[in-house]
Structure 1
Amino acid sequence: MTPHQQAEAELTAYGLTLPGAEASRGWDPTRALDVNKKTFVIFGARAEPLDELTITVKLPISAEMVGDLYYVRESRGWYKQHDWVIAHFGPDDDVLAEFDTLKAWLLQSYVAIAPKRLSRQIGAE
């Protein structure tokens, strides 16, 4: 298992602990996590090798602040308009070094997408 696959597996496992979260198929060939049938994170990209990882999340609080990070790709169109951020890690990037940041982004995206009754449960736990 590559570090990129490990990061995706651990982020997926974390995401599935959130109230109402479910694994789903994104657009072929991506993988996604949904809450209430709405996607809050997408893993993968077309023709992406195993030693790369693309993660797309909604960051309404920090989308404008993360644009200068080396692994953030410029979002365009609908994605940019709605505060979705695309992070891409290539074969030489240390995705595991950014794991805590990616986990926080996944949580921020979940809270942005989840119904309030579910996102409030996170603070109560």
Structure 2
Amino acid sequence: MPQTPHQRAEAELTAYGLTFPETTSGPAWLPARGLYVRKKMFCVFGAKGEPLDALTILMKLPISAEMAEELSFVRPAKGWFKQHNWVTAHFEPEDDVLAEMATLKGWLRQSYVAVAPKKLGRELAD
């Protein structure tokens, strides 16, 4: 069965994230999938009840969280997530997630640097 654009986007972002130092992938909370650096999560894919042709992504964006909330595909953060600069990007089946890949990759990198130990974050920044 061919992948949806949303599944392709998640696969591409996961592959990109796995190029960062000491990054692993694995389950987050069910049914979500996560990317981790030294067992600390820096990205979550998926949400409860989400169809295969939709995609939700959570990332920590200490630099651009406020700006990101202005984008049409970003849901307003609440509670703990807002206090700690986590952003939720949500793409419905009709949304063109592949058009946003450059932005999402930049956010993934920013989230990694925010969560990773300083030495690893500097490795990626250099």
- The answer to whether TM tops 0.5 is yes
Equivalent residue in structure 2 for 1:69, among 61, 71, 81: 71
Equivalent residue in structure 1 for 2:4, among 2, 15, 18: 2
User: Residue 119 of structure 1: CA displacement?
Assistant: 1.1
How big is each residue's C-alpha offset from its partner over 1:11-66, in whole Å with a ceiling of 9 and x where there is no partner?
00000000010002100000000001100000000011011000000000000111
Cross-structure match for 1:120: 122
Cross-structure match for 1:52: 54
TM-score normalised by L of structure 1 = 0.97
Structure 2's unaligned 5+ residue stretches are none
CA distance in 2, matches of 1:123, 1:104: 12
Q: Which runs of 4+ in 1 moved over 6 A?
A: none
Q: Percent identity?
A: 62
Equivalent position amino acid for 1:4 in 2: H
User: Residue 74 of structure 1: CA displacement?
Assistant: 0.7
Cross-structure match for 1:16: 18
User: Residue 123 of structure 1: CA displacement?
Assistant: 3.2
Structure 1's unaligned 5+ residue stretches are none
CA distance in 1, matches of 2:32, 2:68: 23
CA distance in 1, matches of 2:27, 2:99: 27
CA distance in 2, matches of 1:111, 1:123: 8
User: Residue 120 of structure 1: CA displacement?
Assistant: 1.3
Q: What is the RMSD of the two structures over their aligned residues, measured on CA atoms?
A: 0.7
User: Residue 68 of structure 1: CA displacement?
Assistant: 1.5
CA distance in 2, matches of 1:119, 1:87: 23
Cross-structure match for 2:111: 109
How big is each residue's C-alpha offset from its partner over 1:58-85, in whole Å with a ceiling of 9 and x where there is no partner?
0000001111111000110000000000
